[in-house]
Structure 1
């Protein structure tokens, strides 16, 4: 399937991943001690209610977003195949990004599914109040039908990182986001898109600030909780960066997916390798974490504090390879 698509030379453009950020980069902070064992958070006892995308009974799934050299269907397939070859294993799931109007269930999506991978679709829905006004009902129904045709269980991150301050103009408020979430999910239910596990995924910074929980749609609306966590502008152990989220999530009987994680090129190869080693231990000691996805990308226009690609950094990639070959991440 992949070879046929690559040979076909499709050229449909896709959203290339995370966002550019024009924040000023602060001076590097002192390196923390990453040698001490990570702390575990007391978690809710399973089994966890996760919707159709079921977590593994033991260990955690491993996935990634891999930025292609060319933002085409063929480019996406090539990027994933290249990383899988470097890792010596298949990814359990592929994180892929869509703008509001970009359809799900593309030829490359179908190719990944045919090759045995699952999908986590990060869907950048639009202005919450225009959604609630019914201005996008036809589009939402069309997307729901496209997801239904996928048939395989799909994780859907509806407007991930909704707590980012630079999205407030379209999110409006936590209440507006929650109402839009419920509105969209109702349409999906009406269209019988029953193969969706709904993933709520704010930022680790939002939990540190304290405003992320205000966007939570409720236990009856969410199947997986999620967080995006980076050692980007601040180099801290991953357990410290996402500690407030883990404390909050422990009160809910939901599996956790780390929707995006990465360590910036700015911190140097040795520090990156240590951070990834600490991430591996942190994921394993917190048993509620059932899936993790690395953000293998250097987004265009971003400085070294937001360049997260590990390929080409031999020391960091070696630590990454150790994580992905750990039997814990091969359930």
Structure 2
């Protein structure tokens, strides 16, 4: 009977471990083991925005509510207040026809941050044909007028299947990229570092992200947007295919977006974030990382990444913010 009771106790403990969202098994899966893959320490040339000689810039997108100029500033200030420090990189998004050099942009620059612009696209055929040359030239002059170096990421996640009608083939995307750069060059823009940013999944089996690469002569920073999805996967697993590709290019890397969904639960989510910080440190070619501090307008729990309301996740990110590796300006 004693042996039977012991066996039942072991089975019960195993069942509870398998069901609990904060179990040791799930926590280990969330953190993972850092994989040193992109270990090139440089020096690496990122164009006008110089990568730190050692360590990585800390950045984030903080979703504004409302989406106004004061709202953008308030969202970043609120996150910085929770972290107890300023961000090195402020990530902001622009639709194709939206202007640069706004009041919030200037405020972030005045606070010492480098701006990472994610600029949406339009039909690549029309760009290459010159239909938007006037708009592109205006945006180029706005970037030039800002004076300080900025990171310019045109049409991030171009490898997503739902963008294929707009992007066309990889060759058509690359032609549009080169046309954009040509218009910027004609406007004598010398303060923009060009950032190429596909999805991490685009480097896994069946993905075609590498085919969209414009070439080392056209790109200053390599970038990737990396999310684990519904199943708990450590960031080391998500990033591995991209890092394996990127280590063949002597370019600094910025993780443009990453996040741990709230659906994981506070404990797993916090450990996932600590694992992410360890992964960045294990791959010194990564010179900047931007958290996606936002929940979507639609109700999809797996895409809810905001740190607000989750003290454990916020502490994990704040610990990263205090790490000397992510304070390269100090």
Aligned to 1:101: 97
Aligned to 1:131: 127
Q: Choose which of 149, 153, 157 in structure 1 pairs with 2:153.
A: 157
Corresponding position: 1:192 with 2:191: no
Deviates more, 1:317-326 or 1:34-43: 34-43
Q: Aligned partners of 1:276 and 1:172: how far apart in 2?
A: 35
> 1:324, CA displacement in angstroms?
1.1
1:298/1:36 CA distance change after superposition, 3 Å: closer
Q: Choose which of 270, 281, 290 in structure 2 pairs with 1:284.
A: 281
Query: Which consecutive aligned stretches of 4+ in structure 1 deviate over 3 angstroms post-superposition?
Result: 34-37, 42-45
Aligned to 1:296: 293
Corresponding position: 1:205 with 2:212: no
Corresponding position: 1:263 with 2:263: no
- Tell me if the contact between 1:156 and 1:196 (Cα under 8 Å) persists in the aligned partners: yes
Q: Choose which of 179, 193, 208 in structure 1 pairs with 2:175.
A: 179
- Tell me if the contact between 1:44 and 1:251 (Cα under 8 Å) persists in the aligned partners: no
**Residue pairs, 1:60-71, within 5 angstroms:** 60-71=56-67
> 1:45, CA displacement in angstroms?
5.1
Q: Aligned partners of 1:153 and 1:174: how far apart in 2?
A: 28
Deviation per residue, 1:178-237 (Å, 9 max, x gap) = 000000001101101110100000001111133000000000000000100012333201
Q: Aligned partners of 1:202 and 1:155: how far apart in 2?
A: 15
Corresponding position: 1:37 with 2:33: yes
Indicate the SS of the match to 2:222: strand
Aligned to 1:114: 110
Aligned to 2:243: 246
- Tell me if the contact between 1:44 and 1:252 (Cα under 8 Å) persists in the aligned partners: no
Gaps of 5+ in 2: 1-20
**Residue pairs, 1:211-250, within 5 angstroms:** 211-250=208-247
> 1:35, CA displacement in angstroms?
5.4
- Tell me if the contact between 2:252 and 2:287 (Cα under 8 Å) persists in the aligned partners: yes
Q: Aligned partners of 1:321 and 1:203: how far apart in 2?
A: 26
Aligned to 2:18: none
Q: Choose which of 290, 309, 314 in structure 2 pairs with 1:312.
A: 309
Indicate the SS of the match to 2:308: coil
Q: Aligned partners of 1:286 and 1:56: how far apart in 2?
A: 14
Gaps of 5+ in 1: 1-27
Indicate the SS of the match to 1:294: strand
Corresponding position: 1:147 with 2:143: yes
- Tell me if the contact between 1:140 and 1:187 (Cα under 8 Å) persists in the aligned partners: yes
- Pick the structure with more helix per residue: 2
- Tell me if the contact between 2:41 and 2:284 (Cα under 8 Å) persists in the aligned partners: no
Q: Aligned partners of 1:122 and 1:82: how far apart in 2?
A: 21
Q: Taking structure 2 as the reference length, what is the TM-score of the superposition?
A: 0.89
Aligned length: 303
- Tell me if the contact between 2:40 and 2:284 (Cα under 8 Å) persists in the aligned partners: no
1:147/1:35 CA distance change after superposition, 3 Å: closer
> 1:36, CA displacement in angstroms?
5.3
